[in-house]
Amino acid sequence: MNILYDERVDGALPKVDKQALLTELRRQLPDLDILHSAEDLKPYECDGLSAYRTTPMLVVLPRQIEQVETLLKLCNRLKVPVVARGAGTGLSGGALPLEQGILLVMARFNRIREIDPAGRCARVQPGVRNLAISQAAAPHDLYYAPDPSSQIACSIGGNVAENAGGVHCLKYGLTVHNLLAVEIVTIEGERMTLGSDALDSPGFDLLALFTGSEGMLGVVVEVTVKLLPKPQVAKVLLASFASVEAAGRAVGDIIAEGIIPGGLEMMDNLAIRAAEDFIHAGYPVDAEAILLCELDGVEADVHADCDRVRAVLERAGASEVRLARDEAERVRFWAGRKNAFPAVGRLSPDYYCMDGTIPRRELPGVLQRIGELSGEFDLRVANVFHAGDGNMHPLILFDANQPGELERAEELGGKILELCVAVGGSITGEHGVGREKINQMCSQFNSDELTLFHAVKAAFDPERLLNPGKNIPTLHRCAEFGAMHIHAGQLPFPELERF
């Protein structure tokens, strides 16, 4: 089934007259920058999931929140669908435009309004890049903890919309754990603050509900993030293993020791070789798996924990354990991991990145099954894994120019996600559902659960004008996709409890 918006199964979209809309926009918002010609619209046809492209009807680039309010009110009145977009680095097609809709680009809201060291928070506009917040806070020895691999480019508004993660989530949490408040504008043009500068707020926790809601409930126009004191030191251990199973067990052993590492990452042999070839990080290319374990905090504790972790890794059968000798080597160890996606990209014309999560204990079985599926579909799969928090990133290698390969990659990806659900996990840990995983939502949630999601949507956007077709599939799509049959006693893994 085509991933692009399909009115037959995703619901009819209102018919919009482009010229009339353009005229009305210019009348009501004379200062608003609007792109409408084919060559200007082209660069906005996809986000970080470039396999799927749709040219938007119009692109608007506001500079003032009042323009966003007026625009959304107008869209609500004229029934025009709106897709919000930040830096466009998302990997699930969450900002994939609609032919019948406006693409609302928030990138020009790029000002850091306030760094408040005593209040340990930063108030920023949604287009501010993730890394720019930590850079601005650095003179105060503070930083913003969530660090998705795209942090150099991705914007905080998109991080909120996707509840972005990163490699330090196990210890420091996701975006939702590092926010104090967001200001949003609803489709009715109503501006509201969710959360507050205090640690909690009265009423329902709408801040939690909006975080990760993928632009379906409102548009983020300001974000107040928590800042943390920078850890005094960070040390990284690199351990090599002769099997992914042994590396997986070592992860559980570290946690059983009562240690929560700042980062705990695993890569399999194909990913190790790709990264080493690209970055020359000093990875052991013969290892079947490596673990990168970062320990951070106060110096004395970090030294003691390094010794403990080294002992655990050796007991768990590591063939080699290396402590990064200095900061340069530590950065190099991480560079290999953070560039694993583009590194794997060099092995193959195209790759497709999965984002499933599983209970960690299921890792050996899941990796084995992925290996078998890789053989069945005749496509190579490299595995990069946030081992500490059970978030897998299998990378499926394919060549879109070979007839049928993209479809095979998609089908293999779908099988991997269904496998994650079957062992008690989720189809997405941090990349979001977007458009990409819309069909797999039918595997993770039954029709009653999806119905409740639609009810939440209806409380904020009853006409479904904000980002239609993303995040939550229609029951019609699920029926058509054929996934509903798995709820009739024909689960792909019937012996397993479904979560």
Instruction: Decide if 421 contacts 359 (C-beta within 8 A).
Output: no
Residue 293 makes contact with another protein by CB under 8 A: no
Please pick, from the candidates 43, 349, 359, 482, the single residue that binds another protein as defined by CB under 8 A.
Answer: 359
Q: Of the two residues 332 and 361, which places its CB atom closer to another protein in the complex?
A: 361
Please pick, from the candidates 50, 196, 368, 402, the single residue that binds another protein as defined by CB under 8 A.
Answer: 196
Q: Which residues contact 88 (CB under 8 A, 6 or more apart)?
A: 44, 46, 47, 48, 95
Residue 120 makes contact with another protein by CB under 8 A: yes
Please pick, from the candidates 148, 262, 394, 432, the single residue that binds another protein as defined by CB under 8 A.
Answer: 432
Q: Of the two residues 184 and 244, which places its CB atom closer to another protein in the complex?
A: 184
Q: Of the two residues 206 and 397, which places its CB atom closer to another protein in the complex?
A: 206
Footprint of another protein on residues 465-484 (CB under 8 A)?
471-472
Quick one: tokens of 349?
């014309």
Q: In the bound complex, what is the minimum distance in angstroms from residue 422's beta carbon to another protein?
A: 12
Q: In the bound complex, what is the minimum distance in angstroms from residue 434's beta carbon to another protein?
A: 10
> In a 3-state reduction of DSSP, which class is residue 490?
coil
Footprint of another protein on residues 125-164 (CB under 8 A)?
140-142, 162-163
HEC assignment per residue over 366-390: HHHHHHHHHHHHCCCEEEEEEHHHC
**Would strands 58-61 and 102-105 be described as parallel, antiparallel, or unpaired?**
parallel
Q: In the bound complex, what is the minimum distance in angstroms from residue 494's beta carbon to another protein?
A: 18
- Phi, psi for residue 128 in degrees, rounded to 5: -70, 135
Please pick, from the candidates 84, 174, 343, 412, the single residue that binds another protein as defined by CB under 8 A.
Answer: 174
Q: Of the two residues 100 and 149, which places its CB atom closer to another protein in the complex?
A: 149
Q: What angle do CA 56, 57, 60 make, to 5 degrees?
A: 80
Residues touching another protein, count (CB under 8 A):
99
Give the whole-angstrom CA distance, residue 62 versus residue 82: 13
Q: Of the two residues 162 and 410, which places its CB atom closer to another protein in the complex?
A: 162
**Burial 400-420, CB ≥16 within 10 A → b, else e:** eeeeebbebbbebbbbbbbbb
> In a 3-state reduction of DSSP, which class is residue 265?
strand
Residue with tokens 């599939």: 473
Footprint of another protein on residues 94-113 (CB under 8 A)?
none
Q: Exposed, middle or buried, 92 (CB in 10 Å: 0-12/13-18/19+)?
A: buried
**Would strands 320-323 and 391-398 be described as parallel, antiparallel, or unpaired?**
unpaired
Footprint of another protein on residues 32-91 (CB under 8 A)?
none
Residue 394 makes contact with another protein by CB under 8 A: no
Task: Transcribe 107-157 into DSSP letters.
Answer: TT---EEEEETTTTEEEE-TTSBHHHHHHHHGGGTEE-----TTTTT-BHH
Per-residue binding string, another protein, 297-326, x by CB under 8 A, is: xxxxx-xxx---------------------
> Could you give the maximum distance between any two Cα atoms of the chain, in Å?
71
Q: In the bound complex, what is the minimum distance in angstroms from residue 249's beta carbon to another protein?
A: 10
Please report which residue ranges of 215-265 form alpha helices under DSSP H.
244-256
Selected range binding another protein among 99-107, 265-273, 316-324, 454-462, rule: CB under 8 A = 454-462
Footprint of another protein on residues 204-263 (CB under 8 A)?
204-206, 208-209, 211-213, 216-217, 229-232, 252-253, 255-256, 258-260
Q: What is each CA distance from 406 to 169, 305, 355, 412, 483, in whole angstroms?
A: 31, 45, 18, 10, 21
Q: In the bound complex, what is the minimum distance in angstroms from residue 337's beta carbon to another protein?
A: 17
Please pick, from the candidates 129, 386, 393, 435, the single residue that binds another protein as defined by CB under 8 A.
Answer: 386
Q: Of the two residues 39 and 200, which places its CB atom closer to another protein in the complex?
A: 200
Q: Of the two residues 210 and 398, which places its CB atom closer to another protein in the complex?
A: 210
